[in-house]
Structure 1
Amino acid sequence: MATRWGLGADLAIDLGTATTVIYQRGAGVMLDEPSLIATDPRTGALLAVGQDGYEMLGRAPGQVQLVRPLVGGVIRDPVGAERMVRHLVTSLRPSRIVRPRMAVALPGHVSPLERAAVEDAVLRSGARSVFTVDGTLAAAIGAQEQVSGPAACLIADIGAGKTDLALISLGGTVVARTLPIGGDTLDRAIVDWMTQEHRLLLGIRTAEDIKVRIGSAGARGPVGPMRVRGRDIDSGLPRTVVVSPDDVRAALAPVVAELRDALAALIGQAPPELAGDLVNGGLTLTGGGALLHGLPEYLSEGLHVPVRVAENPRWSTALGVGRCVEDFRGMRSMLTESVR
């Protein structure tokens, strides 16, 4: 979805486990691609990045290695991350003459080494300077929450590799927690359930498709069954089974219950005045995991607060960082400049 590059335009980057979203100052979201690279393990040559790499997932021959440079929102393959960011940024700008400032979202729990890895990857991709912003705060800004006021807002940013929870007031985080669960966890839960209940092996892309089409957190969700193809564990041959929404709901139940319980515990840690704000303000869901059918209703029933999904949950963090690059001076308190 890349469009024409404007010289000198600053960039905002949401560097996620599953997806990288890039926002250009003055133009909005310019790129939304899987955080994935394909390389030749024999030579190290870069074969594909983003969507082109994703199309190879589960289908690549032995001479193609597929790598997600980020795990749980932090860089685990610095070289791969640099190559991925450089390729995606270069796909937006044909010239290296003008190097933009770049702002990137980071999880609040990152270590100094993890922060440095992100800053280095972005600098080496062609940035003139790098700024970082707390990812959950950015998600709240992108979801149109009034983060600078005294009234509390509660955010659950459900990514692929992790979920960040934060209670925000007066422009800062009051209490926060990161869960090692996300959209990938839901996919693996479906794979495990199909293995146990049907002795059928599924690819992760098939599990994701099941989640999107008939997965739900509660009774309010899709009603029709789905035919699923995989490999029979015993015979090794292809087999098709029919899976109902109730089946998938059962597979996902432990994961969504863990999210609900963690949110309840977080609310319990909040000062009484801020917890009281949630009776009206409620919880806002961001991230791709927020799109699971029935999740707002499920959480609202369990937490006794209203729950809403951001208008564009997959882009909330990028839009929030984008707000910062649109107004560097006015949002300066939200940004930390790299001194590298």
Structure 2
Amino acid sequence: MFSKFQNLLTGDVAIDLGTANTVIWMKGNGIVLNEPSIVSRDVVSGEIIAVGHEAKEMLGRTHSGIETVRPLKDGVIADYKMTDAMIGGFIRKINLSRISRPRMVICVPSGVTDVEQRSVAEAALHANASEVYLIDEPMAAAIGIGIDVGAPYGNMIVDIGGGTTEIAVISLNGIGTLQTMKIAGDEQTHAIKGWFKEQHKLEIGERTAEKIKCSVGSALRTKGKLIQVKGRDQITGIPKTIEVSSDEIRQALNSTVSEITNAIRNALDKTPPEHASDIIDYGIILTGGGSLLKDLDVHIKNKTGLPVHVAEDPLYSVVKGSGMVLENLKKYKEVIIYNT
């Protein structure tokens, strides 16, 4: 009973602050929030109108008096004020006690600068955190998957998020080999938008492109099926519906899939021989929302000749790992890259 009361008061949380989505894990409760990293505000007054799901519903549908903002770009803070507002809004959504001063573990992309680390920490402190700990995203993902990150053997983690793809070989509580790129889920969504614009002179919205990617996107050629796509004809300006083969979506995604695969090959090329032999034994582990693209694991296996596994719960690997760090800060003190 006392521990439950203490959780209510402290409300210690782990946050996967992603470009596309923010996921919050609360001590004693598990995952309590998973919402888009989007804020809508009044252009004139600057007042925050909505955050998360409610703000995403407005995406592409606002008038001149309201704008929707993605405060994070490529995994780091692009709009400090809006990030503050977004984190504050999410903390209110999980109904933390007003008197709580939670400890927060927040994951950040590998290789972010000291300034970017401080920006994340300050945003958390503004949300009433008592202590803030930062951890690299691939490290958090590895812990969340259940890997013993302190062991002397190497594990390759490929974390495909919204803004970045991070490829890391982890061992002895550190990252030995690291390859990062700004090609990930958001870039794939933009590629689909660009495909329809160039090939069909049809302008589609971001939400439509993302829905198409999730429903019929694939890394390999499959038996195509016809899908209907709604948008605005670029020539006439009139709303229009067209039918295309789902295989066109594979073609639209081909460039981004190839770039991610090439980055993995480059990371393997830089990996020390002993870790390379470990990867032959344990394979490459894919995590993050981008790993859910159909047949991406098969494509990477075909191109590398190595075993490739998709994490059991790829959308939540990072936040689960961050939560495990929060549960046992002493055990994982060596993986923390910054703390207030």
TM-score, normalised with respect to structure 2: 0.96
Alpha-carbon offset, residue 318 of structure 1 = 0.5
Which one of the candidate residues 168, 171, 182 is aligned to 2:170? 168
Alignment correspondent of 1:15: 17
**Separation in 1, partners of 2:47, 2:166:** 35
**Separation in 1, partners of 2:165, 2:98:** 36
2:283 matches 1:285: no
Alignment correspondent of 2:141: 139
Please tell me the residue identity of whatever aligns with 1:148. Answer: G
Alpha-carbon offset, residue 196 of structure 1 = 1.2
Q: Deviations over 1:20-62 (max 9, x none)?
A: 1110112111110111100001000110001000000111111
Q: Would you say the 8 A contact 2:160–2:286 is kept in 1?
A: yes
**Separation in 2, partners of 1:289, 1:69:** 20
**Separation in 1, partners of 2:179, 2:267:** 7
Alpha-carbon offset, residue 215 of structure 1 = 0.6
Alignment correspondent of 2:29: 27
2:93 matches 1:119: no
Q: Would you say the 8 A contact 1:214–1:223 is kept in 2?
A: no
Alpha-carbon offset, residue 225 of structure 1 = 2.0
Q: Would you say the 8 A contact 1:37–1:50 is kept in 2?
A: yes
Q: Deviations over 1:255-282 (max 9, x none)?
A: 1001111100110111111111111211
Alpha-carbon offset, residue 106 of structure 1 = 1.1
Q: Deviations over 1:210-241 (max 9, x none)?
A: 11111100135x74221001111111111111
Gaps of 5+ in 2: none
Alignment correspondent of 2:310: 309
Alpha-carbon offset, residue 7 of structure 1 = 2.3
Alpha-carbon offset, residue 87 of structure 1 = 1.2
Percent identity reads 39
> How do 1:98-247 and structure 2 match up within 5 A?
98-220=100-222, 223-247=224-248
Aligned partner of residue 6 in structure 1, secondary structure: helix
2:62 matches 1:56: no
Q: Would you say the 8 A contact 1:143–1:320 is kept in 2?
A: yes
**Separation in 2, partners of 1:278, 1:137:** 16
Alpha-carbon offset, residue 336 of structure 1 = 4.0
Q: Would you say the 8 A contact 1:107–1:135 is kept in 2?
A: yes
Alignment correspondent of 1:329: 330
Alpha-carbon offset, residue 96 of structure 1 = 1.9
Aligned-residue CA RMSD (Å): 1.4
Alignment correspondent of 1:271: 272
Alpha-carbon offset, residue 337 of structure 1 = 4.7
**Separation in 2, partners of 1:315, 1:19:** 11
- The 3 A distance-change label for structure 1 pair 36 and 218 is same
Q: Would you say the 8 A contact 1:219–1:294 is kept in 2?
A: no
Q: Would you say the 8 A contact 2:225–2:247 is kept in 1?
A: no
Q: Deviations over 1:178-235 (max 9, x none)?
A: 1111111111111111111111111011111111111100135x74221001111111
Gaps of 5+ in 1: none
Alpha-carbon offset, residue 9 of structure 1 = 2.8
Q: Would you say the 8 A contact 1:108–1:135 is kept in 2?
A: yes
Q: Would you say the 8 A contact 2:11–2:96 is kept in 1?
A: no
Q: Would you say the 8 A contact 2:75–2:163 is kept in 1?
A: yes
TM-score, normalised with respect to structure 1: 0.96
Please tell me the residue identity of whatever aligns with 1:290. Answer: S
Aligned partner of residue 135 in structure 2, secondary structure: strand
Q: Would you say the 8 A contact 1:163–1:179 is kept in 2?
A: yes
Q: Would you say the 8 A contact 1:26–1:326 is kept in 2?
A: no
Alpha-carbon offset, residue 338 of structure 1 = 2.8
Q: Would you say the 8 A contact 1:160–1:289 is kept in 2?
A: yes
Q: Would you say the 8 A contact 2:201–2:234 is kept in 1?
A: yes
